Structure 1
């Protein structure tokens, strides 16, 4: 059997994909080193945001970072629903604004939980009332704090709230060709699942990412490793002493059962990292949040 391939006069297959023009003024992908740094930062932000939502709306919440990419603002806005919630933030020394975007029905369900509602809520697409904006503003304040903490030195100056928009095509947070670092998330709040995005002008982050891929450092490898490990996020737990429990007791647990803990009431809580106790802390507060006040430290032999 003979197979014939149709070609053009230049010898290119006729069914080949048409070439696309490349804009050398704007990269279309992130360098691997840059992408990895941003993915770690937004993973940290997602965990913090989920914890903050749980505390604010009093419903178990989880936020998962799905991907990080660089898009023009026009490409980013074109991928959003026509009607959606967009909270805009001013970025110092940058003309474009940052965006935290989420469906308005999801935000209204968060507000409903804050006001005592239970279960899933069927809410229509609509603008927020003044009371809803005030309650949502508290959630956004926490999200902004988490974003600043997660990005760390990548974001030189703190962002400030600007406005709330409801139409992705008319929000005009940036010029059409402005590059944006876009992180996509999945939010699970109680029984409700919703997508969300965070878009930050690339000009606010990329200059701080440039040194990531630089080579030729004269520092010893051990010093470079220690310097890198010093900035890796770790999970710190504040917990009671563990107790041994037999399987029979676990299988027969029922509402109202009491487990006797071996942790004395006067003893501080343990501060652990990776299962190793590093310090002890007394329960305290920092503003409106719970906190642990370190009262002693322990030298780890591992």
Structure 2
């Protein structure tokens, strides 16, 4: 028996048994939805700015961190994409086996330590395991970053994230099973004149569960009362406005210090109290203590809905 394809080529039927077939699990998708990807991108953009500010303050070098890629993939693929020798700071949750990884080059970690203690970092420091004192400095540095990460993700991670350890070999670090799906976020870090890659790994099951529950709790429409209260509490800018005067462009270009520009607004006419371009009242200029103030003389009629 043979199978004929569209190009009329003949393929032995027995070869089908040796083909690799990946079974798609609809209950465990292998990619992020557009909505979830956007939520994570916004959260990690916030985290990247906070991380850059923290690094700048701690190591004394202007830092810039930008998000390059947010993706979901098996942990084995994520680990294989990392350099063999690197810094993997493993963070743990209380009462949970799931782990988070903050990864960056080992040479960058050594440079940060040198700069934190007041030294001058060399361009290419030697890749070597960190001493106990150096590990303590990196733990303190990443503990602050982990707090920023929890805040930026706004409830997508449990609180009280702690540093569980530091690994140096990405292939031997037993953080998760090779088939476990993780969310990998890749960053570009510019520290002075040097640019290095970095990444953060999150357990996908934990994050997606919370993303899904958050989406299901979101109402389809905002209640009118809630929207009205929000609008009533939004700050607006009030301003007193004189009657405008039309001038030509060459008149504006000829203005100089000391020139007097007469206005069309008469001295006995109240000023308009406006929000943006909308007049809400008329007022006269007065004082309140040592500050100028306005005294309301009339209010504008409330707008009425036009009926068709």
TM-score range, shorter chain: 0.5 to 0.7
Partner of 2:133: 131
- Counting only pairs closer than 5 Å after superposition, residues 213-232 of structure 1 correspond to structure 2 as 213-214=215-216, 217=219, 219-220=221-222
- Counting only pairs closer than 5 Å after superposition, residues 62-73 of structure 1 correspond to structure 2 as 62-73=64-75
Is the CA contact 1:91–1:204 (under 8 Å) kept in the aligned structure 2?
Answer: no
- Counting only pairs closer than 5 Å after superposition, residues 197-276 of structure 1 correspond to structure 2 as 197-211=199-213, 213-214=215-216, 217=219, 219-220=221-222
* Distance (whole Å) between structure 1 residues aligned to residue 112 and residue 181 of structure 2: 31
Tell me how far 1:134 sits from its aligned partner: 1.5
Match of 1:61 among 60, 63, 71: 63
* Distance (whole Å) between structure 2 residues aligned to residue 116 and residue 133 of structure 1: 17
Tell me how far 1:118 sits from its aligned partner: 2.9
Tell me how far 1:40 sits from its aligned partner: 0.7
- Counting only pairs closer than 5 Å after superposition, residues 15-94 of structure 1 correspond to structure 2 as 21-24=22-25, 26-94=28-96
In structure 2, the CA distance between the partners of 1:227 and 1:122, relative to structure 1 (3 Å rule), is farther
Is the CA contact 2:56–2:63 (under 8 Å) kept in the aligned structure 1?
Answer: yes
Tell me how far 1:194 sits from its aligned partner: 0.8
Tell me how far 1:125 sits from its aligned partner: 1.5
Is the CA contact 1:57–1:114 (under 8 Å) kept in the aligned structure 2?
Answer: yes
* 3-state SS, counterpart of residue 59 of structure 1: coil
In structure 2, the CA distance between the partners of 1:211 and 1:37, relative to structure 1 (3 Å rule), is same
Partner of 1:264: none
Is the CA contact 1:29–1:69 (under 8 Å) kept in the aligned structure 2?
Answer: yes
Tell me how far 1:117 sits from its aligned partner: 2.3
Partner of 2:248: none
Is the CA contact 1:39–1:68 (under 8 Å) kept in the aligned structure 2?
Answer: yes
Partner of 1:111: 113
Relative contact order: is structure 1 or structure 2 higher (C-alpha 8 Å, sep ≥ 6)?
1
Is the CA contact 2:88–2:103 (under 8 Å) kept in the aligned structure 1?
Answer: yes
Is the CA contact 2:114–2:121 (under 8 Å) kept in the aligned structure 1?
Answer: no
* Distance (whole Å) between structure 2 residues aligned to residue 161 and residue 119 of structure 1: 25
Tell me how far 1:97 sits from its aligned partner: 1.3
In structure 2, the CA distance between the partners of 1:191 and 1:120, relative to structure 1 (3 Å rule), is farther
* 3-state SS, counterpart of residue 177 of structure 1: coil
In structure 2, the CA distance between the partners of 1:70 and 1:46, relative to structure 1 (3 Å rule), is same
* Distance (whole Å) between structure 1 residues aligned to residue 218 and residue 51 of structure 2: 37
Say how many residue pairs are matched. 219
Bigger drift between 37-46 and 209-218 goes to: 209-218
Is the CA contact 2:93–2:158 (under 8 Å) kept in the aligned structure 1?
Answer: no
Q: Is there any run of 5+ residues in structure 1 with no aligned partner, and where?
A: 1-7, 229-302
Is the CA contact 1:120–1:192 (under 8 Å) kept in the aligned structure 2?
Answer: no
Q: Is there any run of 5+ residues in structure 2 with no aligned partner, and where?
A: 10-18, 231-308
TM normalised by structure 1 equals 0.65
Is the CA contact 1:94–1:204 (under 8 Å) kept in the aligned structure 2?
Answer: no
TM normalised by structure 2 equals 0.64
In structure 2, the CA distance between the partners of 1:55 and 1:21, relative to structure 1 (3 Å rule), is same
